Structure 1
């Protein structure tokens, strides 16, 4: 019997409806390509796996079963696509499920390349009636089976997300397999793993990864791991600080580092942390052994944060500390913020958690512009003026009055700024408008049950979508009415004495709580798409259509919860929303020309990528410095411009021969050095344009043989690993596909002389409508400029929301289930 697949109908409020037509047409593979079926099922799989109902612990299993039963038995194409989706992300909630997965990998060798994520964050034995000894006897999940799983999936496993329930099964061999170089594992998370056994395993594994250097009188790494870009050690409290330092020293390419609630000290932070040139996410929250002096020295002198040649600056920073046990002062906090501004982190930070740190308050609102920042005496106003891209701010434990918080949320006023001589500055010199979306003001004595109804908290900012408050204030809103909401009016002129209620905008805020996250209480602004008000009503009633098919309501958690997370979201999610995050984390990701077929037409289930064994080169290009021009104070650039041809320069020929000598074993290096010259040198010039980008933009049809030989001449040496674009990646790039289609359509038409003259006449008269090409990801960075349909503002609004979500996903991730949600949102 042929089963019916389901697809999400956007016109019915996010309901899954049957699509028998697609199932019938898909029986013939020539009608619908498998890539289209893959995209449709990917959206459905993401919606079902993110469905938060039914409200029981087995909701993942039930949603997973719904997806499999709806699509797996439709036809061969659906079966092939479903296997790719369900094996790519392995959410292992029980030891029995892990045993079944391991059996499938043993019996079917082809599906081993599909597995990319091993997620053990929801794995637990609670409620199964088993003790720890019984689990060891059953041996569904032990160190032997886990080691076998890593061996079978080592060719394509990208993420390994552990939890505290498997910490005793992570022996020295498994830790060694996870940390050793030569694999494609890019995301590694030991969240919650602690205990004496796990510590001994880490120490034993590091003994195999390090060797003792007698000259330096210290242990040095055998080989660095350049593949791992995300490391999570959140809540690994029992790992000693020297062990943490040795783990960090062998991972020089980290982009996301979570050291929250660990035993790291000042010495390890300053001297053992390598020069991380790509660091964007950093968490040092609840590190009780870190002193304010050590943290300030780290942000003032460590090259990972102070080197101007770093490729990235911070986007996510968590420095939460205990207010009663820390020795931070308001002077320390202001010094830290100024250091962030001095090295450019304030221009990119979107998440900043300064909970527990003291702030300096001042009634003087004036400010003036200095070299690196807008100087003012009030710490909260300093954040407002100097961190324009901030979307989430936590000032938990600070007792700011309601008026101070409302002034912080209001737009920047020109009256508060002055020039160097006390004169007001121009509007162009004002700081950018802050787009804050989440503000944590819990444990504030001024925000209580008597002041929570102040409308200024809910109407001062146009962008604010959520507030985190204390229990007393939250409970007051919950008990105020049956809907548990606050209705406020936003006036066009809030500072005027006479307010017109007719033109006021109605703003609704609502209470939200989930008992599984601990004692955290939120108020969120109600909207139709991301933070709805009827979450409790959805998913509890079964509905059917006129044909008797069950309608599945997709109910997600409110979107503001991603800003409330205190733990770094390291992974890319069940189904990635954007390829940018995967490329940043995996780095060597080269999508195939087809997810299901090879060039010869055979079925495929993935391909094994090549691990990265060397550091990434900075943007730029190769240059040759000649001895005769070096004496004259000049340099010779052997990389010509796009329009230049090979003029037969002797230096170019000599360089080509030199590279050929290294490729040919019969030619010795001494011969090559004679041809180049004793003082010639090859170096990487960062001031140049990236050669790969230039070569991609050039049409292959107009590339001359001499030009191609010159481009091949300046490839990176074998000892340096560099990600190059392959023909598969080129063919799979959607922007290039659109460009090729436009060239193929317009190129033939405009090549005719009569058509060209007619187009020129229309262009001169202004009637030719050919839109200017925008840079890549332009509308993702400027969603307010995008217009999809002038007749339908609702559709345009949905597209703009999508652009904003994709942009936020790169920094915050998404609201995931399991331990990410628990550790990220717990108290």
Structure 2
């Protein structure tokens, strides 16, 4: 990147924050590049990024160090040894490391065996313990894999699970074996104490920092050990128990009250019975408590169709329980593969309590789960016509109600925008019926289908481009159709044989699921000066909907800050990557671990026995953590209206309760924060928002940062017309505002408004393509919060395996 030059030939200094954003986009694109198509593609792309930017100037050098050390992807033991040497010699770099990713660490099959790996001293339990000790101040994610399971000894497991660290994401995917099980048992003995009276183990201290736990394919961990691990992690949001030995007793009694649970995987848990799963979704407070702060967004209950005892009655009962507790309004991923479903020709439905009641299971899902984007009904034998009927958007014409029931305006179900459907192992979807054009044109939102090999092979052999072209008519119900008025919809075959035997058909588009994935990146291109042109080749976007394993981490570079905030839960995150809150420079940030449980949304409120006098009906501010007293703002407000004697009398008769109706300040729309003249104390109370709750620290929002007194003095020379921007003000100011100022500075839409409503966003009326790109970006950011990104290495194998 050339350095900007002024008219007097004096080079300008690029602000580090701008350089950081630019290099972040480049780093994310290169690290997600799928070219070259071999195991060393990460190393090649990493080398390209370092060579291109590290030696430009001091700013680029500083930014590159932050990026390359924050996400430590360790593909070989030698790379881990080099990283450890750097951490030993540079203490500042230790604060940068946030993610330790071992998911592609393997040397088996490259001339080495497992016995030879044990003799290599680059990666052992001693060096791994030293690495955790050096990076414990800021390490947020630890992603293990089956190739280091024997090196995870008692001390390492203890340091990963113990409270007092900022580690938030912990994944033991594929770790099994007697040695790993023994290490977990010994580590838990140090974290628990045995109560002789109750004759049971009791946790010494819970870990409130870990929010994501992955135990996928940890088959050798006994069910009581799984229960002991879960009991000490009450703040879990994402829990992956796929292919483990958890049983009904541990699921009901060993799982704590996870009030923020959003992702849950119980796939291939052979020791779980349908009765135990249904009891869990019927009575366990983690999914049934109405006071939970979150509901499920990702649920995987895949079971073996030939060995499980699930029936169609069980499946329908499960879906009704999900609707009863509100999970149907938030679920975006649902895997019910292997379960039998009810089939009925009766398409009528009636509103019954929290859901639409109907006899057909597919229609029940269609009417009651409007937010679904990925659905797996693998092994269910539905005919093509029934699948097309399920994919067709609901409207007044095809929505039938039972006789005697009038359809109100609000009774019509929401339109389902399903993007991925798994219909493999369905004998009705075969090589003779797969080319039915109705299957590819009935849903405008569907982007991918997963089918069996015979069906997929039929389309692959149909032509050299391995594609199928279907016509989407404007009115498909008329007898005479005009092909000239139809839209051509192109679908293409896709297979990734290196990660599993799964076969997909995806709709071709020019942005996310291109049709040149097979040829793109195979030819090296150079410019006229002989420099190599690097083309970014990414995997199709629909693969994130096909994953069967929970994506726990935030990825190499997060697409948005929402997933990071939900997973890491910083008490006071840095406002800058390079500057402290006092204005000094920094390299890395030391976070503060969370050691106390979080309170639910709301605030403390005073109520009085005398309902007529409610002038003290205000929000109690948080206590000062060091002094243990209330803040001065509340004391000054009280002293201005009451004498000490009156205040003590009033406080002796007042009650304190937790008001959940008080919304968080940073969640309020900008339109609600309008200015109201402080004519009376009651008007101030109406717009006054509660500060953080007692004993709870929350992150500093933008308004708190903008209203900082010291920072306002620094920015005073930049204020326009001597006035601060009204939307940067949280509380009402004492000066009077002019109506012309509100016209000069209009209120913006609430934060993330256009991400939730991308169709309303218009970037440029003259460029529809640019506007469409922005809308796609908003949609991707929203999907990233639930599905994450497309995984790499062994994690991707576990996610996309058969």
TM-score strictly above 0.5 = yes
Which of residues 623, 637, 640 in structure 1 aligns to 2:617?
A: 637
Aligned: 1:322 with 2:304 = yes
Residue of structure 2 aligned with 1:791, choices 763, 766, 785: 766
Structure 2 vs 1, CA of residues 744 and 502 (structure 1 numbering), >3 Å: closer, same or farther? farther
Q: Which range moved further: 342-351 or 639-648?
A: 639-648
Q: Say if 1:644 and 1:156 are closer, same or farther in 2 by CA, change over 3 A.
A: closer
* Counterpart position of 2:473: 491
Structure 2 residue corresponding to 1:816, chosen from 786, 791, 794: 791
Does 2:781 align with 1:806? yes
- Of the three residues 628, 632, 637, the one matched with 1:646 is 637
Cα deviations across residues 320-367 of structure 1 (Å, max 9, x unaligned)?
000000000000000000000000000000000000000000001111
State the match for 2:658 in structure 1.
Answer: 684
1:682 is displaced (CA, Å) by: 3.6
Question: What does 1:122-133 align with in structure 2 at a 5 Å threshold?
Answer: 122-133=104-115
Deviations 1:102-132 (A, max 9, x none): 0000000110000000000000012443333
**C-alpha deviation, 1:427, in angstroms:** 4.7
Mapped contact 1:623–1:682 kept (Cα < 8 A): yes
SS of the counterpart of 1:597?
A: coil
**Pairing 1:392-541 to 2, within 5 Å after superposition:** 392-415=374-397, 417=399, 422-541=404-523
Alpha-carbon distance in 1 for matches of 2:286, 2:10: 55
Please tell me whether residue 279 in structure 1 is matched to residue 269 in structure 2.
no
1:570-649, aligned counterparts within 5 Å?
A: 570-588=552-570, 590-598=572-580, 603-625=585-607, 629=610, 637-639=617-619, 646=637, 648=639
Q: Which moved more, 1:260-269 or 1:363-372?
A: 363-372
Q: Between Structure 1 and Structure 2, how many residues are aligned? A: 770
Question: Equivalent of 2:371, from 373, 386, 389?
Answer: 389
> 1:231-270 counterparts in 2 under 5 A?
231-270=213-252
2-side partners of 1:21 and 1:29: how far apart? 7
CA contact (8 A) 2:606 2:618 kept: yes
Contact 1:621 1:691 in 2 (8 A): no
Residue 53 and residue 723 in structure 1: after superposition, are their counterparts in 2 closer, same or farther (change >3 A)? same
Distance 1:384 1:239 in 2: 38
Shift of 1:621: 1.2
Q: Which residue in the other structure is 2:627 paired with?
A: none
Q: Distance in 2 between matches of 1:257 and 1:157?
A: 20
Tell me by how many angstroms 1:536 deviates: 1.5
Displacement of 1:205: 0.4
Q: Is the 8 A contact 1:347 1:388 kept in 2?
A: yes
Moved more, 151-160 or 589-598: 589-598
Equivalent in 24, 28, 31 of residue 46 of structure 1:
28
Counterparts of 1:714 and 1:73 in 2: how far apart (Å)?
46
Look up the match of 1:169. Answer: 151
Partner of 1:668: none
TM-aligned CA deviation for residue 694 of structure 1? 8.2
> Structure 2 matches for 1:73-222, cutoff 5 A?
73-222=55-204
Alignment partner of 1:781 is 2:756: yes
Partners in 2 of 1:22 and 1:695 — Cα distance?
39
Contact 2:572/2:698 (<8 A) preserved: no
C-alpha distance in 2 between matches for 1:566 and 1:421: 41
The separation in 2 between residues aligned to 1:310 and 1:650, in whole angstroms, is 38
Cα deviation, residue 417, structure 1: 4.5
Cα distance in 1 for residues equivalent to 2:668 and 2:451: 52
Closer, same or farther in 2 for the Cα pair 1:651/1:791, shift >3 Å?
Answer: same
Q: Residues 141, 493 of structure 1: CA spacing in aligned structure 2 closer, same or farther, 3 A cutoff?
A: same
Post-superposition shift, 1:243?
0.4
SS of the equivalent of 1:722 reads: coil
Alpha carbons of structure 1 residues 573 and 728: separation in structure 2 relative to 1, 3 Å: farther
Query: Deviations along 1:196-215, whole A, 9 cap, x unmatched?
Result: 00000000000000011233
Q: Is the 8 A contact 2:559 2:784 kept in 1?
A: yes
Helix, strand or coil: the match of 2:299? strand
- For the 8 Å contact 2:467–2:490, the answer to whether it is kept is yes
Could you tell me which residue of structure 1 aligns to residue 51 of structure 2?
69
SS in 1 for 2:234: coil
CA shift, 1:656, in A, is: 9.3
* Shift in CA distance, 395/633, structure 1 to aligned 2, threshold 3 Å: farther
State the 1:604 CA deviation: 1.8
Q: CA separation in 1, counterparts of 2:763 and 2:774?
A: 8
1:714 to 1:471, Cα distance in 2 relative to 1, 3 A: closer
- TM superposition shift of 1:783: 0.6
Q: What is the match of residue 630 of structure 2?
A: none
Compare the two structures and name the one with the higher helix fraction: 1
**Partners of 1:612 and 1:721 within 8 A in 2:** no
Q: CA deviation at 1:428?
A: 3.6
Q: TM-score if structure 1 supplies the norm length?
A: 0.87
Gaps of 5+ in 1: 1-18, 658-673
Return the offset for 1:598.
Answer: 3.8
Deviation digits for residues 184-238 of structure 1 (CA, Å, limit 9, x no counterpart): 0000000000000000000000000001123333111001000000000000000
Helix, strand or coil at the partner of 1:414: coil
Per the alignment, do residues 652 and 117 of structure 1 end up closer, same or farther by CA in structure 2, a change over 3 Å counting? farther
Question: Kindly tell me: are residues 420 and 148 of structure 1, through their superposed partners in 2, closer, same or farther at Cα, counting changes over 3 Å?
Answer: same
Change (3 A) 1:162 1:757: closer
The verdict on how the C-alpha distance between 1:311 and 1:545 changes in structure 2, with shifts beyond 3 A counting, is: same
* CA drift at 1:731: 5.3
Q: Deviations over 1:264-289 (max 9, x none)?
A: 00000001100000000000000000
Name the CA shift for 1:629/1:55 in 2 (closer, same or farther; >3 Å): same
Please say if residues 278 and 310 of structure 1, whose CA atoms lie closer than 8 Å, have aligned partners that are also in contact: yes
Give 1:676-755 correspondences, 5 Å limit.
Answer: 677=652, 681-690=655-664, 716-717=693-694, 720-725=695-700, 730=705, 744-745=719-720, 748=723
Alignment RMSD (CA, Å): 3.6
Instruction: Tell me how far apart the structure 2 counterparts of residues 361 and 694 of structure 1 sit (CA, whole Å).
Output: 45
In structure 2, C-alpha distance between the alignment counterparts of 1:655 and 1:100, rounded to whole Å: 69
| Residue 549 in structure 1 maps to residue 531 in structure 2 | yes
| Distance in 1 of aligned mates of 2:568 and 2:11 | 32
Gaps spanning 5+ residues in structure 2: where?
Answer: 622-632, 727-736
CA contact (8 A) 1:592 1:732 kept: no
Contact 1:281–1:317 (Cα < 8 Å) also in 2: yes
CA distance in 2, matches of 1:154, 1:758: 53
Distance of 2:293 and 2:644 partners within structure 1: 34
Q: Distance in 2 between matches of 1:715 and 1:205?
A: 36
Cα offsets for 1:766-786 (capped at 9, x unmatched)? xx7976521111111111111
- The answer (yes or no) to whether the contact 1:186–1:230 under 8 Å persists in 2 is yes
Q: Which moved more, 1:130-139 or 1:300-309?
A: 130-139
Deviation at 1:31, TM superposition (A): 2.8
Q: Assess, with a 3 A threshold, how the Cα gap between structure 1 residues 162 and 749 changes in structure 2: closer, same or farther.
A: closer
TM-score by length of 2: 0.89
CA positional deviation for 1:730: 2.7
